[in-house]
Structure 1
Amino acid sequence: MDHFLYRDGTLYAEDVRISDIAAQVGTPFYCYSSATLTRHFRLFDEALDGTDHLVCYAMKANSNQAILRLLAEQGAGMDVVSGGEYARAKAAGVPGDRIVFSGVGKTADEMRMALEGGIRQFNVESEPEMVVLNEVALSLGVTAPITVRVNPDVDAKTHAKIATGKSENKFGIPISRAREVYAMAASLAGLDVVGIDVHIGSQLTDLEPYRMAYEKVAELTKTLREDGHNIRRLDLGGGLGIPYERSNEAPPLPIEYGQMVKETLGDLGCELEIEPGRLIAGNAGILVSKVIYVKEGEDRKFLIIDSAMNDLIRPAMYEAHHDIVPVTEDVPGEEGEKYDIVGPVCESGDTFAKGRTLKSLAPDDLVAFRSAGAYGAVMASEYNTRPMIPEVLVQGDQFAVIRQRPTYEEMIERDIIPAWL
């Protein structure tokens, strides 16, 4: 469920007309619903009721400060994958003991930043990383809490570019080598082994891959405890999918996921961490764009809009589907038209959809891309010197711009011309 609904023939975000935001902010822009963000976080939190747990929002989905502050006020922890994300989490008021640091390429500087600023744990992904973290921790006179990310070699049956739990992927250490890697970790004085980490991919629409991975984690927990390790925390990653196409069968609900977690891991006495991102933010945001031209091609119509692949790269990168709807609702019985929906960037890949049926549209009409709250704004760029587009947060009948659109002058002034030119 989200809070982007039609009323009296026009699309609203909660109690604000999208057309009113467009008139004030200009297009294109991202729009997020506070009610949807908080509802989705609570669904995960409630799904693990009865367990010792922490829901750590995966910031890579959407890291705007306002969204982080909103979720932190609900009690969310944060899952970060860079020094920049760590700094963002701290700036949003998230305490270090609610921040988990993931990622395969943490640098010594990033480790130092987190150890000095406070960290719940590092999810370590390789022996070389373990060695460097140990050296940094010893140099600071502290102990770094770690889990080791194990790769369970489970096919998440998701897009190849967002699968992370197969043996061919770059993430984690093979679960078959876990005992020797944990023995190495235990021998390093600067590390405190607190648990196990696993994450098998993103946009999962079936619980069975999770169950297979978590059963392996349960078995590993018992083995490592027999080896003398105090395994007291299990980081289960995220990845639960959302329905990008409204006509498709809905993915599992958080409560169903939570029940499966309790069934597979609930008897181990471990604190549980989960790291949802897409399911919290995805359906909480839309991208709003304006029609520039309707162009007649030889065998098709092109709907040329003012957002482009630099604003929302998922269709170009992942062949991703987003439902695209008119901001003014279809009239019942009105025959629609088929369009190839494209942006202004000089790339053939700047295509959002082909042969998509919409009501007849004209220049200046508004359209909205649904399910654009995750991996939209955070993956945007200024390709073709197109400004990063504004982000807007709605709460009830209020809205605020939470990231401004830069001017051309501001963009250009970031460049530095050397003295010899």
Structure 2
Amino acid sequence: TSAEYLARYPTQPNAPRDFAARDRDGDGALNSDEYADPQFPQAYNDPIELFRRADADCDGRVSVDELSGVAQAHQQMLPALMIPAFDDDGDGLLTLSEFRVSMLGNTICGWHTTRTDKNRDGVLTFDEFLFQPDDFLLLQRLYFYRFDADGDGRLIQSEFPYVEFNPNTLYRLAADGSSMEMIWQDKSRPTAGSPEISPDGKWIAFDLYPEGKIMMVRSDGDILTEVRGGLMPSWSVDGKSFAYSQSGVSISDFNGHHSDKFANGWGAQWSPDGKLIAYTMNRGLWVYDVASETSREVLPHNAHPYATLYYGMTWSPDSRYLAIKATSGNVHDIIRIDTQGEKPAFDVLLSTTLSLSHDLTWSPDGERLLFSMNSPQHGRNLLHQLELQDGASPTVFPGIDTNLTYMCQSFSRDGTWIVLTAK
């Protein structure tokens, strides 16, 4: 029925439309022929018919080459894995009964998707092998042990291929894109994010998430220091302290020995002139006056239509405007707020349905915004820049390695280089 179909494909936005198109007789339900229509992305697969088509020499058994001939492009890695794992009689071929137990004979999960060694221990555990963590656990357990040839409860590369979990890495990028080089990488600390360059350019503060630690490393990659607990460090104008988030927003001294909480918000960002700290709280945007130790709301929750205002905002160089990611449904906007206006006001700089990072950076000359956004051409999030002029569209930042996936970035105060996190 329609209800059953929509429950089976809850994350497919076109499911209602597809159901209506497949229901050719209009009776409100799909029969087997309607459900098996191959023009639709979710369809019944007949394993016996697939085996028959694969068995080119009609001997009742299929080889790796025969299986490769019927496997779809995204399934081409499966045939070579299936023979040793499901060939119960050891003849190097699969009978129909052996094939029906295999991955091509049972496509209920996306067996072709890449598995990752998330804990970087050189093997794949069952938790890392799981293709669907909540459903079909017994079937996935059966497959795991089928591939585990030596029975040690772990999979090595020769038993089932996987990729290592690449750590987030700090890179130095020239502001004109003329050079890009690695600053720091540590496989034991793979989650570096939210980097910010100190005002004198000598240090980079960043966080480890979900560990909840603020770290510092020299801008040449030397002398790594764990400073304190917290996330998203943001330097003061003199570089002697930083704002951060941890059960609220606080200010810490350089060494992390002393801190003061000033609000219950999140995502503190210090203004370039050092006078204000912006943060989000209760779906609104606030600024804290460092001298008077008072806060005021510059964009209340009832003055905008968005479900979420994200942390990772950025100040304009003159410390007047804030740019922040705001989301409603599947639409992501970058909006600009005037913190000195008589009443709450904002304008939309960018609106997109593409994946868009929450971490924004305003260039010191005030002419462009930097952020990570999906590039359909490359199939990953790349560093983009948006020139702040009417009608401009985001472009991929020149000089970056487009084989990497980008997360966060920050300009040096003199505007000559950018620190990036990418992997």
TM-score range, shorter chain: under 0.3
Q: Which structure has the larger Rg?
A: 2
Higher helix share: 1
TM-score (norm 1): 0.28
**Taking CA–CA contacts closer than 8 Å with sequence separation of 6 or more, which of the two structures ends up with the larger relative contact order?**
1
Higher strand share: 2
